[in-house]
Structure 1
Amino acid sequence: MTQIIGLTGGIATGKSTVSAMLAAAGLPIVDADKIAWQVEGPGQPTTAKLAAHFGPKTLLADGSLNRKWLGQQVFHDADKLAALTKITRMPIQQAMFTAIVAAGANRPAAVVLDVPLLYEGGWDHICDQVIVVAAPEPVVLTRLMARNGLSEADARARMMSQLPLAEKVQRADVVIDNGENVDKTRTAVLKWLKTMIN
């Protein structure tokens, strides 16, 4: 029977690294971020609703979301973040469920739901197990500032917009530490994969 495995973590903890390792091992991945980009693509109804709510600066010249500008708006304002979530949650959920069904069609051992806001969105309720990827806060802060070109204040605002990593770790079935080096992370992933096979 195919299990549904939730994969999450704090922002910039290295969840994508673990997701890539699981994909390389042959597990199908349902990536919430990729689905969100499709749902919020140029010409999509959700994109039009976001533009109507947040104004003309929401869109770039090609009709795609001005994600950097929108991020600056919502990650410093809880009401704006709630409005964005209200507009996007249902269409993303519908697309996610469609993708889950498609990923499970060939009855793999597991389908991995790669969801940054897994607990916040209630996706843990449909998962057989949840893996949380963790890293120390100073490491996360440095990674996030470098990866996204953010100031420390902007990086901390994004970190604080999510459920605290410590709470995710406490609720997890499996915790993978990605704070040191990729080899240690790979060893932990392979150890977990053996539990799926046996």
Structure 2
Amino acid sequence: MWVLGVTGGIGSGKTTVTNLFAEYGIEVIDADLIARAVMAPGSAALTAVNERYGPQALLADGNLNRGWLRERVFSDPSEKTWLNQLTHPLIRQKLLEQLEQARSPYVILSAPLLIENKLTALCDRVLLVDVSPAVQRERTVARDQVSSAQVDAIMQVQASRQERLAVADDIIHNDGPLADLSPQVQHLHELYLTLASKALQPDGKPL
């Protein structure tokens, strides 16, 4: 399976972009959705979080209190390390399972920490959804109803814009209006169909 890694910082619009690829029938494996699934009520990971932090880590309905946990781990690097060691192996296992099951002409692996977590090793090509830090901050504050300080803290632990640009094979610029995205996605989708097709031998097996 030919894998396109899609990444970008918080508020960059990765989901909007991958939804456009999905309209062409491309399967999208979303690391954020998998991360939520591994923390579902009754899961071993959520049980471990509850045991470590107590009931304040949970909402009244038993789901993870994501806002509280985000503030907790971003204020204490050792807690962030503990949480990553708990969740990252589970997320990676699910990613691999879903990539193996994908059946579209190519498959997208969407992850905000694609570079930081070395998930680029699973990808044949990397697409960056790029925006300026000011736009990231503005969109995230409006979407998540959080403070600029909290957004800045998240941005500081993610790869920098320059680091992402250095790794990216392709770039979608998303500082502008939504209408600017569709032509960029269409052009890249056609490119990826060609690349994925060339990566296969006539018998359908990877080179």
TM-score range, shorter chain: over 0.9
Q: Point out the structure with max Rg over C-alpha.
A: 2
Instruction: Return the alpha-carbon distance in structure 2 between the equivalents of residues 41 and 197 of structure 1.
Output: 35
- The aligned counterpart of 1:39 is 38
* Pairwise CA distance, 1:196: 2.1
Q: Which of residues 174, 178, 181 is equivalent to 2:177?
A: 181
Instruction: Return the alpha-carbon distance in structure 1 between the equivalents of residues 45 and 61 of structure 2.
Output: 16
Instruction: Return the alpha-carbon distance in structure 1 between the equivalents of residues 107 and 190 of structure 2.
Output: 16
The C-alpha deviation readout for 1:51-96, integer Å capped at 9, x for no partner, is 2223321112222101111011112222221111111111111111
The C-alpha deviation readout for 1:88-124, integer Å capped at 9, x for no partner, is 1111111111111111xx3x22110011111111110
- The aligned counterpart of 2:12 is 13
1:10 aligned partner, one-letter code? G
The C-alpha deviation readout for 1:14-70, integer Å capped at 9, x for no partner, is 111111001111100111111111110001001111122233211122221011110
- The aligned counterpart of 1:126 is 122
CA RMSD of aligned residues (A): 1.2
- The aligned counterpart of 2:198 is none
- The aligned counterpart of 1:191 is 187
In the alignment, structure 1 residue 77 sits paired with structure 2 residue 73: no
Structure 2 length normalisation: TM-score? 0.90
Structure 1 segments of 4+ aligned residues over 3 angstroms from their partners: none
Unaligned regions of 5+ residues in structure 2, if any? 195-207
Q: Give SS of 1:34's match.
A: helix
- The aligned counterpart of 1:140 is 136
1:159 aligned partner, one-letter code? M
The percent of aligned pairs where both chains have the same amino acid is 33
Q: Is the 8 A contact 1:74 1:81 kept in 2?
A: yes
2:6 aligned partner, one-letter code? L
Q: Give SS of 2:87's match.
A: helix
* Pairwise CA distance, 1:157: 0.8
Structure 1 length normalisation: TM-score? 0.93
1:131 aligned partner, one-letter code? L
- The aligned counterpart of 1:95 is 94
1:99 aligned partner, one-letter code? Q
Q: What number of residue pairs does the alignment pair up? A: 194
1:66 aligned partner, one-letter code? N
Q: Is the 8 A contact 2:29 2:99 kept in 1?
A: yes
Instruction: Return the alpha-carbon distance in structure 1 between the equivalents of residues 11 and 76 of structure 2.
Output: 21
Q: Is the 8 A contact 2:106 2:193 kept in 1?
A: no
Q: Is the 8 A contact 2:4 2:108 kept in 1?
A: yes
